[in-house]
Structure 1
Amino acid sequence: IGSGSFGEIYSGTNIQTNEEVAIKLENVKTKHPQLLYESKLYRVLQGGTGIPDVRWFGVEGDYNVLVMDLLGPSLEDLFNFCSRKLSLKTVLMLADHMINRVEFVHSKSFLHRDIKPDNFLMSLGWQVYCIDFGLAKKYRDSSTHQHIPYRENKNLTGTARYASMNTHLGIEQSRRDDLESLGYVLMYFLRGSLPWQGLKAGTKKHKYERISEKRFLPQLRPSVEVIQQNLHHTSITAAH
């Protein structure tokens, strides 16, 4: 049914309860295994609103296996189903859910580092879920809340289209980078595309450079202002 940052995802059935589940597989011989790490992170986040329940993790044959809740379509799938047009009201509702999910992950001392429409799923009750923590990283000590040190010359982690400016510049990510990526996702939903999509380049490095050059263009400003104004209006309406 899909693929994550480090594995393939299948739908399956619990033969005891007949319940449908999602099964993520990762070859045990993979050079940089991540599924065990991801399963531990799900345990840390367990119980949070919009975090899938983990049913089982273990090794089966040649694969590391993570079994979890089977959820609905991703926001990317829904966007395409809606002919790549979402109303402002829908985008604002999604923004409210997505910001809350990211805030919860941050409250547990982790960064997601791959915020994109594919990594948010809808449930039957129209609840937004955050998934795919294979690239997540701890940004502070859980006890002392001491932040990780500032670093430069880091490789780009995540999806280039939605990665923050600092990520493209090789600066160690922090909470603001998840939020900047989320901002690009909302612009994408509101505009139908981002100005730096589809850029051609000879190498991945050159493509990243071209994406960086395209950021913060004047044509993005109206979308930013519309979201800011309407988020304020929506929050006031919700309060009443």
Structure 2
Amino acid sequence: MASSSRPNTSRYRGLFWVWFWSGPGSGSGPAHQVSAVYQTGETVALKKVALRKLEDGIPNQAVREIKALQEIEDNQHVVKLKDFFPHGTGFVLVFDFMLSDLSEVIRNSQRPLTPAQVKGYMMMLLKGVAFLHQNSIMHRDLKPANLLISSSGHLKVADFGLARLFSDQGERLYSHQVATRWYRAPELLYGARKYDEGVDLWAVGCIFGELLNSSPLFPGENDIEQLCCVLRVLGTPTRESWPEMVELPDYNKITFKENPAIPLEEIVPDTCPQAVDLLCRFLVYPSRRRCSATQALIHPFFFSSPLPAHHSELPIPQRGGRPPRQRLQAPPTDFSVDLPLQNSVVDPSELRPHASCL
């Protein structure tokens, strides 16, 4: 990993505003995303993070996203943090502009994605995840909405608000309340505090299944129902199939009747055997048995006909609900980023690179 000093933020002041929309933040407070064009013609995306309680300092989740992105070298399949700067009672992140995300691709597809398109998206996802894991970073919130799509069709992993560093020793305790429920690994549903990058690999399997089916594999309404959805498909785990299960905090809090597994061929019908085999390698109970992203990239699925589609051949829908592109004479009143930095109440020193905060 390469750590870089903070870039000069002045080049992103005085932006030309193109459109504006609001959306949920990364958990650290309301966020607005704005597309803006720098005077050189560069288009960037801005994410404004507003902080609610300044007396407590910047929330760990907000700092974590910045510092994780600072520690990541340029990679074609991981979103690039171009800059950040404090603003008022919050701060602004400057990213490469991305046109859409994978959830929009799945939701807006007029017909199921072709096998070549699924392979194309999966190859880019796996390359991004492999890069993160090679740099000892767990994303912990992989889902289609966090996989952004550029205007050229490139997929990039984004939103590092829950990212953490992991080690081979595995002694560090983490929160189990991570990942969006439908993509949450079974060990997290059982309250695990010690886990590894396997939680990302489970999420990759869920995303793969969603690409194949055009719908989520495990759409639970709450944590218990989520666990039921998983057990209904994979079968009730036993001490033989998942020895580590008995050590999980919530193992004895709820019991399930024995339930046989459903063959994944029935869950993702009309899917080639190689795709089913790869899916099976992700969706296994023991984290240590899940296929790594690097191993998945050399799976026969990607080398059988049809070959993965080139990124230029992939669908790129517009974000749903986005207002038409229009030229604004001035930034929205609640999103001026042209204030002097000395007017900010956020201490920029809190945002300096520091890997231990991950």
Same fold (TM over 0.5): yes
Describe the superposition over 1:189-239 as per-residue Cα deviations: whole angstroms up to 9, x where unpaired: 111223532x45xxx44444434443425153453845156951532566x
Asked whether the equivalents of residues 58 and 64 of structure 1 are also in contact (C-alpha less than 8 Å), the reply is: yes
Please name the residue that 1:148 is paired with: 170
Describe the superposition over 1:68-104 as per-residue Cα deviations: whole angstroms up to 9, x where unpaired.
1111210111112213621222112211111111000
Correspondence for 2:93 = 66
Distance, in Å, in 2 between the alignment partners of 1:195 and 1:182 is 12
Could you tell me which of 227, 230, 236 is aligned with 2:275? 227
Cα shift at 1:163: 1.0
Q: Residues 146 and 159 of structure 2 are in contact (CA less than 8 Å); yes or no, is this contact kept in structure 1?
A: yes
| Aligned residue number for residue 52 of structure 2 | 29
Distance 1:49 1:211 in 2: 34
- Structure 1 residues 106-117: aligned runs within 5 Å: 106-117=133-144
Distance 2:78 2:117 in 1: 21
Query: 2:128 matched to which residue of 1?
Result: 101
Q: Give the SS at the match of 2:100.
A: coil
2:240 corresponds to 1:196: no
Structure 2 matches for 1:5-24, cutoff 5 A?
5-6=26-27, 7-24=30-47
In the TM superposition, residue 156 of structure 1 has moved relative to its aligned partner by: 2.6
Aligned partners of 2:140 and 2:178 also within 8 Å: yes
AA aligned opposite 1:218:
I
Aligned-pair CA distance for 1:178: 0.7
State the one-letter code of the partner of 1:189.
L
The structure with the greater share of residues assigned to helix is: 1
Whole-Å separation in 1 of the counterparts to 2:195 and 2:45 = 30
| 2:295 alignment partner in structure 1 | none
Q: 1:43 pairs with 65, 70, 78, which one?
A: 70
User: Higher mean Cα deviation, 210-219 or 79-88?
Assistant: 210-219
Among the aligned pairs, what percent are the same residue? 21
By relative contact order (CA 8 Å, sep 6+), the higher-ranking structure is 2
Q: Which has the larger radius of gyration?
A: 2
Contact in 1 for aligned 2:69/2:81 (Cα 8 Å): yes
CA distance in 2, matches of 1:91, 1:77: 14
2:252 corresponds to which residue? Answer: none
Residues 210, 89 of structure 1: alpha-carbon distance in 2 compared, 3 angstrom cutoff: same
Residue 94 of structure 2 aligns to a residue in which SS?
A: strand
| Aligned equivalents of 1:233, 1:137: Cα separation in 2 | 30
Deviation at 1:20, TM superposition (A): 2.2
Aligned mates of 2:72, 2:52 — CA distance in 1: 27
Aligned to 2:228: 210
Where 2:148 maps in the other structure, the secondary structure is strand
Aligned-partner Cα distance in 2 for 1:80–1:205: 24
- Counterpart Cα distance in 2 of 1:62 and 1:151: 31
- Runs (5+) with no aligned partner, structure 1: 141-145
Matched residue, 1:167: 188
Q: Is the 8 A contact 1:113 1:136 kept in 2?
A: yes
RMSD after superposition: 2.8
- 1:161 alignment partner, SS class: helix
| CA separation of 1:63 and 1:220: change in aligned 2, threshold 3 A | same
- TM-score normalized by structure 1? 0.82
Contact 1:11 1:20 in 2 (8 A): no
* Structure 1 ranges of 4+ moved more than 4 A: 228-231
Q: How many residues align?
A: 229
C-alpha distance in 1, partners of 2:263/2:110?
22
Structure 2 SS opposite 1:16: coil
| Counterpart residue type for residue 164 of structure 1 | A
